[in-house]
């Protein structure tokens, strides 16, 4: 298993070793010792699974004061997965990082507590799975606008294309108005 650094402190792209043959494939998606050796000694509290259609954008979500870390992967289809550093004390505060996660590339993304997270479905549909450290706390849910000009995220959308979003995500705030981490 490879743990690749990103420009955002603490965010990692995880590339599992995939063993395939004529019967299919096998891969380890999490193993306590390997993750701990990579600095990700995480206790999991919740697993989630979402299915979304092409053009759906979920995010940019986070929780405060009870943050969650997320280990995300796609088991069908493909997404463009994005994290934004919203820790004021971080050298990468206000920066974003994006990576394609797909059933074909097997990559996973570790989004630690203190970052906002979202994804855009770039295939016909996508099944998105993520493990969470910390439980979902509806009263702590927050969201930052996907199109915040301060962030200038380069989403893979056609010119003028608007993503499909929930009402909650449409009501998200700009980074300048968000409840951030120290």
Give the other-Cβ count within 10 Å of 69's Cβ.
22
* Cis upstream peptide for 155 (omega within 30°): no
Measured distance CA(43)–CA(41) in Å, rounded: 7
Quote the pLDDT of residue 107: 98
* Mean pLDDT in residue range 122-129: 98
Two tokens, residue 125 = 């549909």
Per-domain boundaries in the chain = 2-170
The shares of helix, strand and coil residues in the chain, as percent rounded to the nearest 5, are 10, 45, 45
pTM, 2 dp = 0.95
Quote the pLDDT of residue 144: 98
Quote the pLDDT of residue 127: 98
Strands 115-121, 18-21: pairing kind: unpaired
Two tokens, residue 94 = 């206000």
| Residue labelled with tokens 């439980």 | 135
Quote the pLDDT of residue 143: 98
Two tokens, residue 133 = 């450290």
Q: Which of the residues are catalytic?
A: 61, 130
Banded model confidence at residue 37, pLDDT cuts 50, 70, 90: very high
CB within 8 A of 1, min separation 6: which ones?
14, 15, 16, 17, 28, 31, 34, 38
Quote the pLDDT of residue 70: 97
* Mean pLDDT in residue range 158-167: 95
Two tokens, residue 38 = 């990579």
* Domain spanning 2-170, CATH architecture: Sandwich (2.60)
Looking at 6-161, which runs of residues are DSSP E strands? 12-15, 18-21, 24-27, 46-53, 57-63, 69-76, 78-85, 96-102, 108-111, 115-121, 125-133, 141-143
Mean pLDDT of the chain: 97
């Amino acid at each position: 298993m490879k743990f690749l650094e990103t420009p955002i402190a603490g965010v990692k792209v995880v590339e599992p070793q995939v063993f395939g043959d004529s019967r299919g494939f096998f891969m380890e998606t999490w193993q306590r010792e390997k993750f701990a050796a990579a600095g990700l000694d995480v206790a999991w509290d919740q697993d989630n699974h979402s299915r979304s259609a092409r053009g759906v954008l979920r995010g940019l979500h986070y929780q405060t004061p009870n943050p969650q870390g997320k280990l995300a992967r796609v088991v069908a289809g493909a997404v463009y997965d994005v994290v934004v550093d919203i820790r004021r004390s971080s050298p990468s505060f206000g920066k974003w990082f994006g990576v394609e996660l797909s059933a074909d590339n097997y990559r996973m993304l570790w989004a630690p507590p203190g970052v906002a997270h979202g994804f855009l479905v770039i295939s016909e549909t996508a099944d998105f799975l993520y493990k969470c450290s910390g439980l979902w706390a509806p009263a702590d849910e927050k969201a930052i606008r996907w199109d915040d000009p301060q962030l200038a995220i380069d989403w893979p959308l056609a010119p003028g294309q608007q993503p499909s979003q929930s009402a909650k995500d449409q009501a998200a705030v700009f980074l300048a108005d968000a409840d951030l981490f120290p």
